[in-house]
Amino acid sequence: MASEGGGGFFITVEGMDGSGKTTHVGRLAEALSHDGHQVQVVRDPGTTALGERLRSLLLEPSADWRLEPLAEVALFLAGRVQLAAEVVAPALEAGKVVIADRFLDSSLVYQGARGVPWESILELHRICGVQVSPDLTLVLDLEAEVARSRRADRLTLDRLEASPTAYHEKVRRGYLEIARHFPDRVVVVPATRGADEVAQECLELARTRLGTRRNA
C-alpha cells in the first residue's frame, strides 16, 4: 500500500485546543506507516528552526504585549512559508504522506475570529508563494466548553488557549464554515467520542482518500 515516488499525499488535522489533534496525528501516522506508507509528521507553527522560534513567540503564555491581528497572521505565515519550502514540498515530491498538526485553515479560523477576512489571508499566502495545499483535512470538532474542560488540568495555558470561551466559540464556527466551503477536502470528525473511535474514523477516511488517489 506504499505511496510511490512523486505521488505524495498531504493530510492536515485541525481543531480547537483540547480536541486531541496531536494525539490523533501521532496515531494516524503510526497506522499509515504500518500500512507501508512513508510518513512525515510536521506541526504548524514549528518543525523548522524558524518555525519553532516563532512558535515560542506566538504561544508564549506570559506575553504582556498585544499582537495586531495582521501581525499575528504575518508571523504564522512566515513559519508556514519556511515549513512548506523546507519540509512539506520535498516530502510530497518524494512520495511521502505528510501529516500536519495545523496548517492554513488554522489561520483562517483563529485570525479570522479576530476579524481578519479570509480573502486577505489567502491573498497573503498567494503572494508569499505557499503552493502546497492539503489533499484531506480532518477537523476534530467539539463544543468550546468541552474543549475548555479538557484543557482545565493543564498547568499553563498558552496565549491562544487562554483566550476567552467566546473567542473559541468563534473558532469552532469558523471550522464548520470551512467544512461547508471546501466539502471536497474537509471532513468534520466528531471528537466527543472515545479516542479509539475517533482514531479509527480518521484512519478510514485517510485510507479511502489514499486509495482513491492511487486508483485515479
Domains, in order of start, for the chain: 9-215 (3.40.50.300)
- pLDDT at residue 152 tops 80: no
Expressed in angstroms, the distance from the first to the final Cα of the chain is: 15
Query: CA 75, CA 66: separation in Å to the nearest integer?
Result: 13
Residue 39 bridge partners (DSSP) = 97
- pLDDT at residue 182 tops 80: yes
Instruction: For residues 57-83, give the mean pLDDT.
Output: 88
* pLDDT, tens digit (0-9, with 9 covering 90-100), for 17-55: 888 999 999 999 999 999 999 999 999 999 999 999 999
Q: What is the pLDDT of residue 159?
A: 65
Q: What is the pLDDT of residue 161?
A: 66
* pLDDT, tens digit (0-9, with 9 covering 90-100), for 81-131: 999 999 999 999 999 999 999 999 999 999 999 999 999 999 999 999 998
Q: What is the pLDDT of residue 2?
A: 38
Instruction: For residues 183-198, give the mean pLDDT.
Output: 96
- pLDDT at residue 201 tops 60: yes
Query: 60-69, 135-144, 187-196 — which is least confidently predicted?
Result: 60-69
pLDDT, averaged across the chain: 90
Q: Say if residues 11 and 99 touch (Cβ distance below 8 Å).
A: yes
**What phi and psi values does residue 189 have, to the nearest 5 degrees?**
-115, 115
Q: Strands, DSSP E only, in the chain?
A: 9-15, 39-43, 97-101, 136-141, 186-190
Query: CA 130, CA 115: separation in Å to the nearest integer?
Result: 22
Q: What is the pLDDT of residue 144?
A: 79
Q: What is the pLDDT of residue 3?
A: 36
Query: CA 138, CA 14: separation in Å to the nearest integer?
Result: 6
Q: How confident is the model at residue 1 (pLDDT cuts 50, 70, 90)?
A: very low
Q: Say if residues 77 and 60 touch (Cβ distance below 8 Å).
A: no
